[in-house]
Amino acid sequence: MDPEVLVVGAGPTGLTTALELARRGIGVRIIDRAATPNTQTRALGVQARTLELFARTGVTDELLARGLRADRFNVFSEGRRILRADFSGLPTEYPFLLMVPQNEVEDVLMADLARFGVTVEREVELTALTPSIDGVTATVTYGERPADARTYPWIIGADGAHSTVRSLLGVGFLGSAFDEHFAVADLRVDWDRPPTEFFAFLNRGRFAAFFPMLGGWHRVAIARPAGEEGWERGSVPTEDLQAAVDTIVPGRPQILEVRESGRFRINQRRAAAHRSGRVFLAGDAAHIHSVIGAQGMNTGIQDAFNLAWKLADVIHGDAHAGLLDSYEAERAPVAARLVKGTRAVTRMTLLRNPIALAARRTVAPRILGRPHTQRALTRAVSQLDVSYHDARGAAPAGRAAVGDRAPDAEAGGRRLHELLDPVGFTLLEFGTDTAATTDLALPGSAAIVRVPDASAASAAYGITGPTLVLVRPDGYIAARGGAEEIRRYATSPARIVDASSRGMQ
């Protein structure tokens, strides 16, 4: 079929977008200027919320087979532990961070995309965009061959931090870079710390973070203050990495082997807009931030899940084009919160002031050790707290309001997320009479699931009486209440989670 959507960029965000569109019967073309697929580790770590979403596509099991499940996070300040966080209590089927390299994620997504007859077109570079009322004309080049221009109804720019799409649109990229210099390396180290735990060591403006990988390897990120000689130029020799480890990490563990290394600067930026007419920005093209927390790849993938079902519904004629306005309305607060949060955490790790360092060593352990703080921290890192309920971009633990993630819990011997429709809406019936939903005009061909009384799912959703909960295709709550509340959402002009529907709790 003629493609309805051109996706520019074949990283995790672009591949997820293309896959989600293809699964819904939308013709999609995906291009990338690179000659071959990425073979470098780059991003590392797939969060619990991302694994939940990938489970709807059927690729989570393959990712689990390729990764290491990391379940705890440790932070030390000048040799003293100030944090030990445990993911095992998270209310999800995936209470861990899956350490799987970006290139492995891309490989799994490309294989699944091929099942729908879609392959990445390589060495194809976008050079011009010409918007019109009915579409966007994209001009691309094929190496030495003549340029080609074709009009698409929709274009999605998932082409990274140096996005050509964003540049051609003239959309600003707001923010700044940190002054400190960073190095990253994949290495094996001689120590006796648990192989499935994260370790971050902070030491007077320097830090070294060790992220576990399969086979006894670690991804190590190291920061040193600006102005220190020899760190900002050239390669990163093993002796320089060892010298940094000796300075920062208690016990001075020895580096046994280095597989690859490089240098980078941390930028904290987000696009001035996520959309311009029929063109959308997603992933690093829309926002970049500190590597601390392993949030970047996951945030881009979740951009894709948010946008793809809405665009598919509009293309199929099941929703008004106004629904697409909710993409930026929902994802921009999430990106803004992420940029702000990772900036604050990064600044905290790079403290040099003696008074601030003393407070970090003495006050931080008491605050970070509180159960409430631990719960909030692990939910944020795993992105289970992401919410579209309001402009804060996050939900408190235990809430299941409109715009929040639909909780997962036991329901009649199965997990509720297993019962959700893989591509469409799902109506959950909690203690209601089946006749109450007989005449409902549900969005698309929504699946209907009757949740057993007194199940853990009822408690997770805060059910106190007969209630209907409509879950969106991306696993967030669209509406809840009685038949009238569900009907109001399903028949709204654009099926957007707006202020009126957010009151239906």
CA–CA distances in Å: residue 458 to residues 408, 421, 452: 10, 19, 8
State residue 175's pLDDT score: 79
Q: Which of 170-174, 258-262, 441-445 has the lowest mean pLDDT?
A: 441-445
- Residue 11: HSE in the Cβ half-sphere, 13 Å Cα cutoff: 27
Predicted confidence band of residue 41 (pLDDT cuts 50, 70, 90): low
Query: Does 23 share its domain with 126?
Result: yes
**What mean pLDDT comes out for the span 162-171?**
96
- Tell me, yes or no, whether 69 lies in a domain: no
State residue 505's pLDDT score: 35
Query: Does 498 share its domain with 453?
Result: yes
Residue 229 has pLDDT above 70, yes or no: no
> How far is it, in rounded angstroms, from Cα 505 to Cα 497?
13
Residue 494 has pLDDT above 90, yes or no: no
Cβ atoms of 407 and 390 within 8 Å: the answer is no
Residue 22 in tokens: 């293809």
Helix (H) or strand (E) holding 377: helix 371-382
Residue 290 has pLDDT above 50, yes or no: yes
- Tell me, yes or no, whether 70 lies in a domain: no
CB atoms within 10 A of CB 452: 14
Query: Does 164 share its domain with 312?
Result: yes
Residue 180 in tokens: 């400190």
Average model confidence (pLDDT) across the chain: 89
- Tell me, yes or no, whether 415 lies in a domain: yes
- Tell me, yes or no, whether 367 lies in a domain: no
Query: Does 299 share its domain with 420?
Result: no
- Tell me, yes or no, whether 363 lies in a domain: no
Tell me which residue range forms the domain holding 481.
410-502
Residue ending a domain, among 240, 265, 290, is 265
Say which CATH number the domain at 106 has. Answer: 3.50.50.60
* 191 vs 492, more confident: 191
Residue 502 has pLDDT above 50, yes or no: no
Cβ atoms of 86 and 72 within 8 Å: the answer is yes
CB atoms within 10 A of CB 177: 10
Predicted confidence band of residue 379 (pLDDT cuts 50, 70, 90): very high
**What mean pLDDT comes out for the span 204-232?**
81
**What mean pLDDT comes out for the span 248-276?**
89
The total number of residues written for the chain in this structure: 505
State residue 42's pLDDT score: 73
Query: Does 188 share its domain with 167?
Result: no
pLDDT cut 90: percent of the chain above it: 65
Number of domains in the chain: 3
For residue 438, the SS3 value is coil
Residue 458 in tokens: 């009822």
Cβ atoms of 427 and 486 within 8 Å: the answer is yes
Instruction: Please calculate the CA angle 266-267-268 and round it to the nearest 5 degrees.
Output: 125
**What mean pLDDT comes out for the span 193-217?**
92
Query: Does 143 share its domain with 290?
Result: yes
Q: Are strands 28-32 and 5-8 parallel, antiparallel or unpaired?
A: parallel
**What mean pLDDT comes out for the span 71-92?**
92
CB atoms within 10 A of CB 3: 18
Note the pLDDT tens digit of each residue in 90-140: 999 999 999 999 999 999 999 999 999 999 999 999 999 999 888 999 999
Query: Does 150 share its domain with 207?
Result: no
- Residue 150: HSE in the Cβ half-sphere, 13 Å Cα cutoff: 14
State residue 362's pLDDT score: 84
Query: Does 250 share its domain with 192?
Result: yes
Residue ending a domain, among 305, 332, 359, is 332
Note the pLDDT tens digit of each residue in 149-163: 999 999 999 999 999
125-131, strands of its sheet edge to edge: 125-131, 136-142, 145-152
Say which CATH number the domain at 227 has. Answer: 3.30.70.2450
- Tell me, yes or no, whether 245 lies in a domain: yes
State residue 181's pLDDT score: 72
Residue ending a domain, among 229, 244, 265, is 265
- Tell me, yes or no, whether 451 lies in a domain: yes
* 153 vs 260, more confident: 153
> How far is it, in rounded angstroms, from Cα 297 to Cα 219?
16
> How far is it, in rounded angstroms, from Cα 465 to Cα 108?
43
> How far is it, in rounded angstroms, from Cα 194 to Cα 486?
49
Query: Does 149 share its domain with 294?
Result: yes
Cβ atoms of 29 and 120 within 8 Å: the answer is no
For residue 265, the SS3 value is coil
Cβ atoms of 306 and 474 within 8 Å: the answer is yes
Residue 206 has pLDDT above 90, yes or no: no
State residue 1's pLDDT score: 61
Residue 503 has pLDDT above 50, yes or no: no
CB atoms within 10 A of CB 342: 20
- Residue 114: HSE in the Cβ half-sphere, 13 Å Cα cutoff: 8
**What mean pLDDT comes out for the span 78-86?**
90
Residue 231 has pLDDT above 60, yes or no: no
> How far is it, in rounded angstroms, from Cα 73 to Cα 75?
7
Burial of 190 (0-12, 13-18, 19+ CB in 10 A): exposed
Note the pLDDT tens digit of each residue in 429-441: 998 766 666 677 7
Note the pLDDT tens digit of each residue in 442-470: 887 789 999 988 789 999 999 989 999 99
Say which CATH number the domain at 486 has. Answer: 3.40.30
The residues pairing with 30 across neighbouring beta strands, listed in sequence order, are 7
Query: Does 258 share its domain with 162?
Result: no
State residue 497's pLDDT score: 45
**What mean pLDDT comes out for the span 227-238?**
63
Q: Residue 24 phi/psi, 5° resolution?
A: -100, 15
Cβ atoms of 296 and 186 within 8 Å: the answer is no
Query: Does 125 share its domain with 250?
Result: no
Query: Does 141 share its domain with 282?
Result: yes
Note the pLDDT tens digit of each residue in 322-368: 999 999 999 999 988 887 777 777 777 777 778 888 888 888 888 88
Residue at 341: amino acid letter: G
- Tell me, yes or no, whether 471 lies in a domain: yes
Could you say which DSSP state residue 454 is in? Answer: T
Q: Which of 184, 200, 291, 191 has the alpha carbon at shortest distance from 241?
A: 184
Residue where the block lists tokens 């000796």: 246
